Structure 1
Amino acid sequence: MANSYFQFKQFRVEQDKCAMKVCTDSCLFGAVVEVKEASRILDIGTGTGLLSLMVAQRSKATIDAVEINPDAATQAEENFALSTWAERLALHPVSLQEFAKYNQQNYDVILSNPPFFLASLKSGNAAKDSAKHTGDLFFEDILAFAQKHLTPGGQLYILLPPAEARHFAELATAHQLYLTETIEVYTYIQGQCIRHIQTYRFTNTATPTITQLHIREADKTTYTAAFTELLRDYYLHL
């Protein structure tokens, strides 16, 4: 059974109300996105609030977080309130579609770890299915919002499995957003690629940069030096 909370060095994420718990690939995503120079950040589908808290730790940005699930929204709001950066974090307990109707802000960084399984079977657990499958939150909605509200030099970051990442890249060009970088995340050296961390900008680059990042060494236990460096400021025992 998953813990009711996940303790980081500078904040704590309570997760008993959320179907999707803190996981390694989400933590890696939160550590990778470039936010140092950002003034305003949007986290789409914040869940527990993990990504918003991670980017708040290493930026001075004002952060809006959107979450449609009522329990998850309540949890994220509670996690924000208990953090050091509460005054810079705002929770919007609505769908992205509803948020788009009243939002007047533009963002230097938009990031999302969205529901992503397009074709896989659902579990039967409604809360978990909503968190993992593209039902309430569609790729097109993310792209349309980013096209309208990303600043000219801004960046859209998204975390997806490989197949869904390729599909998202195909859809993005219709919204004048272009894939500029992909980080392929592997479970361990010589292991399986489980996620793509993609960066999109309005600038069209002919050949996106592709790098590989392994979570663990070939022994499947020891964190790699690259992973350790990224998560050192977050994980308690690194």
Structure 2
Amino acid sequence: MANSYFQFKQFRVEQDKCAMKVCTDSCLFGAVIDVSKAGRVLDIGTGTGLLSLMVAQRTDATIDAVEINPEAAAQAEENLALSPWADRLNLHPVSLQEFAKDNQQSYDVILSNPPFFLASLKSGNAAKDSAKHTGDLFFEDILTFTQKHLTAEGKLYILLPPTEARHFAELATDHQLYLEQTIEVYTYINGQCIRHIQTYSFIKPATSTISQIHIREADKVTYTFKFSELLREYYLHL
């Protein structure tokens, strides 16, 4: 029987009450987010609290984590409270819309791994169907909040499947947020691109850069050197 938790070097993530479990692409996302200059961070849809904990490990920032699902919020609150950084981790068990009503804070980094898949719509025409899809509404909520509460030089980081990531980029420009960088995440060398890690800011770049990270070697078992280096301070056996 699989463990009900995921043990990292400096913290543990209990996940038996959460539908969204700890996964490799989320861990990679947490590792690449640049929080070196962040004083305050917002984690939208924190789930188990994984990303907040990963960020807390390598920064002194105060972190607010928002989670609407009651079971996930309760589990995240427990995970954050039992971590070494509990004094600067704040769980808000509400929707982003509710959180936005009273929030007076500005954030240097806003991050999110939203669980929406426009590509799964039945018609197969994502461009046509996305206007009626609930995921699209949440994308707008993230962008509206970010436009109002991200600091002038702050960054928005988001993890999405490729189709959804491209759609999010289109929506972002209407909120004066511009795609700076995309990291394409591949399952293994010569494998499938499963996620895009995107970085947005209010400053429009001359060009938007694209890079790649492969999680495993061509043997589909061994972690690549680049992945290992990024996760070394988190994973127990790296």
User: Scaled by the length of structure 1, what TM-score is found?
Assistant: 0.93
The runs of 4+ residues in structure 1 deviating greater than 3 Å are 133-137
CA distance in 2 between counterparts of 1:14 and 1:72 reads 10
* 1:127 alignment partner in structure 2: none
State the partner residue of 1:111: 111
Please give the alpha-carbon distance, in whole angstroms, between the structure 2 residues aligned to 1:56 and 1:213: 23
Question: For the aligned residues, what is the CA RMSD?
Answer: 1.5
Asked if 1:157 corresponds to 2:144, the answer is no
Q: Which residue of structure 1 aligns with residue 99 of structure 2?
A: 99
2:10 aligns to what SS in structure 1? coil
Q: Are 2:182 and 2:199, in contact at CA under 8 Å, matched by a contact in 1?
A: yes
Q: Percent identity?
A: 83
Contact 1:43 1:65 in 2 (8 A): yes
Q: Deviations over 1:102-141 (max 9, x none)?
A: 000000000000122124169xxxxxxxxxx955961000
The corresponding residue for 1:210 is 210
The 3 A distance-change label for structure 1 pair 150 and 2 is farther
Other-structure match for 1:219:
219
Range that drifts further, 203-212 or 185-194: 203-212
Q: Is the 8 A contact 1:96 1:137 kept in 2?
A: no
1:91 Cα deviation from its structure 2 partner: 0.3
CA contact (8 A) 2:116 2:135 kept: no
Segments of structure 1 that go 5 or more residues without pairing to the other structure are 123-132
Measured after TM superposition, the shift of residue 94 of structure 1 is 0.3
2:95, 2:136 → 1: CA distance?
8
- Classify 1:156/1:7 alpha carbon distance in 2 versus 1 (closer, same or farther; 3 Å): same
2:191 — aligned with what? 191
SS at match of 2:118: coil
Q: TM-score, normalised by structure 2?
A: 0.93
Aligned equivalent of 2:45: 45
Alignment of 1:172-187 (within 5 A): 172-187=172-187
